[in-house]
C-alpha cells in the first residue's frame, strides 16, 4: 500500500487477512466492515457514510452458470478517488472487468468511482446473460411440452415432475436475481444522493490516480 497522493485508485480485498485489513484501515483512516456486518439485511446497515467515505454493500450472485448459484455480499468503500472492494468470493464479473480495463488501458477508470461503475456494469451484464439463458431454457421446455406431440417429446421434459422441478429451480434463480438487482439499484440511488454538493467537497477531482491494485 502506498502513501496518500500516490496513483492507487482501487484496492481489492479478497478474503482479506486481519493484517491486510489493518493496513488498508490505517492507509485510508476508516474501519472496514466484517463479513457478518456485510451480511446485514437492514438497508441502513448496508449503505452509510462514515469516516469521510461511502460504504455500500450489495448482494451479488456467483456461479450463475452452475446448479449451485450462491449469494455473497460485496462492499464498495469509496473515499475521495480511492475505491476499496471487500469480497469473500471470486465472481466472474470482477475478472471480466479486469480484462476489459486492461484492454482499454484504464480509459474511463481513472477514479475509484469510475472503477466502481465499471464493476457494476460488469455485474449487470452478467445478470442479463443469465436472464437470457433462463428465458431460452424456459422457452425450450414450453416448446417440447406444449408444441411437440407426445410421441416426439423428450422423455425428461415430458415427465411432469421433472418439468415442475426445472421450472421451480429457474423461478428460484429469477427471485435471487431480482433480489440482487434491487440491492444494486439501492446502491446506485444511494451513491447518486451521496454525491450531492454537500459531500463533493470531500473528493479531490484534481488528483491524478490511475493505478489498479
Q: Which three cell numbers stand for residue 123?
A: 455485474
Give the pLDDT of residue 74: 96
Give the pLDDT of residue 28: 95
Give the pLDDT of residue 120: 94
Burial of 2 (0-12, 13-18, 19+ CB in 10 A): exposed
pTM of the model: 0.79
C-alpha 24 chain-centroid distance: 21
Is 73:62 a contact under the CB 8 Å cutoff? no
Looking up cell 484501515, which residue turns up? 25
pLDDT by 10s per residue, the chain, length 213: 444 445 789 999 999 999 999 999 999 999 999 999 999 878 778 999 999 999 999 999 988 887 788 899 999 999 989 999 999 999 889 988 988 887 766 567 889 999 999 999 999 999 999 898 888 887 777 766 665 555 454 555 456 777 777 888 888 899 999 999 999 999 999 999 987 654 544 444 333 333 445
Give the pLDDT of residue 50: 94
C-alpha 135 chain-centroid distance: 22
Give the pLDDT of residue 57: 96
Looking up cell 422423455, which residue turns up? 155
Give the pLDDT of residue 121: 93
- Give the residue from 54, 95, 71, 99 showing the smallest Cα distance to 191: 54
Give the pLDDT of residue 24: 96
Give the pLDDT of residue 30: 96
**Cα separation of 35 and 21, whole Å?**
12
Amino acid at each position: 500500500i502506498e502513501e496518500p497522493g500516490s496513483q492507487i485508485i482501487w484496492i481489492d480485498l479478497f478474503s482479506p487477512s486481519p493484517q491486510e485489513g489493518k493496513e488498508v484501515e490505517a492507509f485510508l483512516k476508516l474501519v472496514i466492515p466484517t463479513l457478518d456486518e456485510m451480511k446485514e439485511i437492514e438497508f441502513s446497515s448496508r449503505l452509510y457514510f462514515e469516516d469521510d467515505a461511502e460504504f455500500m454493500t450489495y448482494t451479488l450472485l456467483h456461479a450463475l452458470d452452475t446448479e449451485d448459484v450462491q449469494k455473497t455480499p460485496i462492499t464498495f468503500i469509496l473515499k475521495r478517488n480511492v475505491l476499496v472492494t471487500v469480497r469473500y468470493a471470486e465472481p466472474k464479473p470482477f475478472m471480466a472487468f479486469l480484462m476489459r480495463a486492461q484492454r482499454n488501458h484504464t480509459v474511463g477508470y481513472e477514479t475509484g468511482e469510475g472503477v466502481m461503475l465499471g464493476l457494476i456494469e460488469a455485474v449487470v451484464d452478467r445478470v442479463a446473460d443469465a436472464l437470457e439463458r433462463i428465458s431460452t431454457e424456459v422457452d425450450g421446455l414450453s416448446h417440447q411440452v406444449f408444441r411437440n406431440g407426445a410421441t416426439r417429446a423428450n422423455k425428461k421434459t415430458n415427465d411432469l415432475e421433472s418439468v415442475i422441478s426445472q421450472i421451480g429451480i429457474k423461478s428460484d434463480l429469477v427471485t435471487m436475481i431480482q433480489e440482487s438487482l434491487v440491492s444494486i439499484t439501492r446502491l446506485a440511488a444511494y451513491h447518486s444522493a451521496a454525491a450531492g454538493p454537500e459531500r463533493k467537497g470531500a473528493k479531490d477531482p484534481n488528483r491524478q490516480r490511475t493505478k489498479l491494485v
